[in-house]
Structure formats: C-alpha cells, structure tokens
C-alpha cells in the first residue's frame, strides 16, 4: 500500500486536521431543501441522464424554470459537476437495488452516500489544502506558532469550515477561493485562475470578489501579464460556464436566479442575487 507523500505525513498540523475530520464526520448536516437542489440535479444525471430536475422538483424549493419549460437546480453548478464522479460511483451500487416510487424514482440518497460525497467534494480537499498551505507558510519561514494558528483558524474558526459536511456549495466555494488565493500568493497565476473560475462556478456570489482579486494582482505586479495568466487558467471553467448556462437557460449570461419561481423570490432575501441576475 502506497503511503501519502512525506509533506503530508510530516505536517505539524496533521493532528488538527484529523480532529477536524473526526468532528465533521460525527456531526452530519444534510442541508435541507437547499442542499437537496444539488442532490436532485445529481440524481437526475445518474438516473435520467439529464440536467433537468422535472422528475425531482418536489425534493426541493430551490428550482428554476427555464425558457424551454423544464426545471433545473437554481444553484451554481460547480458542486454538482465536481461531485458527480463520487455520486455516480455510489449510485452504481444503490440504484440497482433501490425500491422505486410510483414515478419510477429511487429514494433520496442516504447517510453513507452523503458522507462519501462530502468526503470527496469538500472534507478531504479542504484538509489537504490546509496541510498544503501550512507547508507553504513553513517554507517562507513563518513561525510555527503562526502556522498552527492559521490551521486552527481555518479548520475551526470560520463559518466556511462549518459547511464542509453539508452540500450547500458554500464550503466548496470557500476551499476553491482559498486555493486561488494560495496560488496567487505563490505567484502560480494559471492555477489561481483555475481555482478562481471553479469557485465562481460553485457560488455566483464570488463574482463580487473578482474585481478586487484582479485589481490586487495588477497592483502587486505592476504589469498585465499575470492577468493574462489568470485568464488562461480560467479557460476550462469558462468553457464549463458557457456550456452549462447555454444548455440549461439558453444564454451563457442567464443564470438560474433569473428564472427562479415567484413564490421563492417572495419568500427569501434575494437582493444581492437580484443585482447580479442578468436578463
């Protein structure tokens, strides 16, 4: 059996990471109707081979009716697309033995399937990212006490860490944005662009941070080349963005919130989203 790399096994913050994983696995947050919007999209793909959640709309209140008359999750698609490999793998064992309802649907995913998805999508990537960040800090001669403080603050001292065991999308967006910042700090601008684009794909609200990220880069380097490197790294995410929003809503600039059903708009605080929605 191949052991993890030495930079992981020798990390001084590994005990904090182990404690974080233990607590996260012990306290499960399903996320309710919000998270079920992503689960409905995942099950629509694995069971119906479509992005349309028409058959699963009652699982959630977070749906959007597109101009083509079909229903889709109204969430940013990053958590669905990145979580699909693990969800499809677990569904391959679940669906053949599932007791289906009158619509021919399998039951909603259970506890074990949820935990495996969260381990794949958020818990393990976030843990590895913290270990990697601490390695960078130590390589820059940051004091050991400061490295431990960073690990504790990241794993236990912020709201993003609380979302790592639930499929709200916030945890995924946070770890991707943290990755973007770490690669930016290390001047690996193409990787920063890659992580930044997928962070936006996981939470539309990241768009408000984009101008500051780009202006900060220009102020730091005093030349435009790093901006082009960030844009180069963001190309795969941009392609996915264009494909998904064009397929679901007919326009790469039309997002789910633009087509959200009226009762949902009336029942939630959506001012910040309304500013960003493009018709």
DSSP assignment of 237-260: HHHHHHHHHHHHHSSTT--GGGGB
Determine how many CB atoms are found less than 10 A away from the CB of residue 18.
11
Dist. CA 221–CA 126, nearest whole Å: 28
pLDDT of residue 135: 95
Instruction: For the chain, 279 residues long, give each residue's pLDDT as a single digit of tens.
Output: 677 888 888 899 999 999 999 999 988 787 788 899 999 999 999 999 999 999 999 999 999 999 889 999 999 999 999 999 999 999 999 999 888 888 888 899 998 999 999 999 999 999 999 999 999 999 999 999 999 999 999 999 988 898 898 888 889 999 999 999 999 999 999 999 999 999 999 999 999 999 999 999 999 999 999 999 999 999 999 999 999 999 999 989 887 765 665 444 434 434 334 434 443
pLDDT of residue 260: 60
pLDDT of residue 3: 78
β-bridge partners, 71: 65
pLDDT of residue 257: 62
How distant, in Å, are the alpha carbons of 1, 16, 49 from that of 45? Answer: 34, 36, 4
pLDDT of residue 222: 93
Specify whether the CB–CB gap between 178 and 153 falls below 8 A.
Answer: no
User: 3-state DSSP call for residue 142?
Assistant: coil
């Amino acid at each position: 059996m191949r052991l993890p790399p030495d930079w992981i096994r020798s990390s001084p913050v590994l005990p904090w990471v182990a404690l974080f994983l233990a607590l996260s696995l012990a306290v499960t947050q399903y996320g309710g109707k919000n998270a079920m919007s992503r689960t409905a999209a995942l099950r629509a793909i694995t069971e119906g081979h479509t992005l349309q959640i028409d058959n699963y709309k009652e699982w959630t209140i977070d749906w959007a009716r597109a101009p083509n008359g079909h229903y889709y999750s109204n969430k940013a698609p990053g958590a669905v697309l990145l979580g699909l490999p693990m969800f499809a793998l677990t569904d391959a064992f679940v669906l053949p033995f599932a007791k289906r309802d009158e619509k021919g649907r399998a039951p909603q995913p259970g506890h074990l399937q949820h935990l495996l998805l969260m381990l794949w999508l958020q818990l393990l990537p976030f843990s590895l990212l913290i270990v990697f960040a601490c390695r960078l800090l130590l390589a820059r001669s940051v004091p050991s006490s400061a490295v431990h403080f960073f690990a504790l603050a990241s794993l236990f001292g912020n709201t993003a860490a609380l979302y790592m065991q639930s499929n709200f999308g916030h945890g995924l967006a946070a770890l991707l944005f943290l990755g973007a910042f770490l690669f930016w700090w290390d001047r690996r601008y193409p990787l920063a662009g890659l992580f930044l684009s997928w962070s936006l794909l996981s939470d539309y609200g990241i768009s408000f941070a984009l101008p500051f990220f780009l202006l900060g880069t220009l102020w730091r380097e005093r030349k435009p080349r790093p901006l082009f490197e960030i844009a180069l790294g963001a190309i795969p995410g941009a392609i996915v963005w264009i494909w998904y929003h064009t397929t679901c809503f007919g326009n790469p600039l039309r997002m789910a919130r633009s087509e959200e059903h009226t009762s949902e708009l009336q029942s939630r605080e959506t001012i910040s989203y309304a500013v960003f929605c493009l018709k």
